[in-house]
Structure 1
């Protein structure tokens, strides 16, 4: 996503090149970009020269993209745009639940906007449209365009305030912004966003594919030093740690609930690729209980879920 920031003079553009709803802050970033300037959501699966041309035409000076752990290709595209001098800043979104220190935000108020708010006739976004030619083109939307469209959908919807909307389109698609984001906000509805990690492998009666999806049997392999990974599992729960993360809060939560939990550090690129996440919690029966690229925001909730205290 790229955008023009209103605190710059003249107003500067923002671009987003992050896949799907890769983390919850992507939604916040998109709406903040429209508040401060003009946002250009871009499909990160497009060829890099195509993405570059769209951002150049939009005049974007800031790009919001996925981190390496979410989408290495999108991250590298953002870095390359900065190296070429096409954008001034690259903001990186890490997985939902990641806690990052950001000194640039220290002292910033979180209850008000310090800049000049937009009017209904101000441009809110540029959306990519290739038409029948596939050539990079941008369609301009004002704030009035988007809010009016969202209001008509919300007003005519058969769904009530208790309905839950599944967001099946990525945010670089205009229908995702209007239909599954703005319209539900106007109705006070809940929106469920898909996990960017894909889907669990299909299992059949005569073929089983190991994976680290919760409930699955994880892959069995020998590490580069010859040890069998399964031989490292503890009798109770085992937390496999493939990268440097502080898991003290999770181990303390387990201890408070009298749940036996041992941490096993694994530094093996092949094993990390097979296990797909930096942290994988294994049950005593050697099935996956939980996985994530960062420690859980609420470790007690995770421990209670895996021990059967929450349903």
Structure 2
């Protein structure tokens, strides 16, 4: 990297720390140095490496690495859109590449870029169905994640259809109590809550929570996610005491397992703020909202959906106090 910097072929970026950028002109010049076939080979290798670097949300400070590799992921996405990777084989016929495309979907989803995530997941799903079959566990993982993206876009019917397909396939292939099956059960609970089907949502959450506690333990991140979701449901049902118990358990577990500034921890902080607002405890609500807002700004940036939601919630809280 030092040699590239000395020759001005790359530049160090101020944010995020430890990342570098290459001028587009230099990038195109490098591409023209070799034959198209070799360029495609290098592009495939780049896609595989970038995809494998994408961390899951359970990773501490996953957002820092995600933001570092996002520009490289966007270049890989352009290659996919332009069909540059196509040669004698289609880009979706290589299992390693398919998995990397799926990982790019995870990256875009976590960054709130749902349209880009949908494009990556659909491309990965096409390749997995062709290479592995419709009912393979890996295929169903992409189906489940497409449901997450559709939910983020507000397409609740499409999300429910994806989750039902994933759940049916996972129960057959992996069993009712496998962690992946329970993940889809939890996701169905979220959709039912969004649709106002609160009793169905509660049944899904309780099934997921019981399974996670047995399979993974009380303090696993996936267990705590369902605990947090139950808190949201209880709040919607007006069971504020039960909601507070769930949020307190989730927050304590997240802070211990993932740290105070992990986005899952901040989600629960935000939920506690909403609960305090509902209880008329405006000072406590403001404290929670400010903590979550500062955390999301630092982790995800000013323009991320979560940051903007917190900004609006704080504004509404201040407006209600002025009345």
Q: The TM-score by the shorter chain falls in which range?
A: under 0.3
TM-score by length of 1: 0.26
Q: Which has the higher contact order (CA 8 A, sep 6+)?
A: 1
- Bigger share in helix: 2
- Bigger share in strand: 1
TM-score by length of 2: 0.25
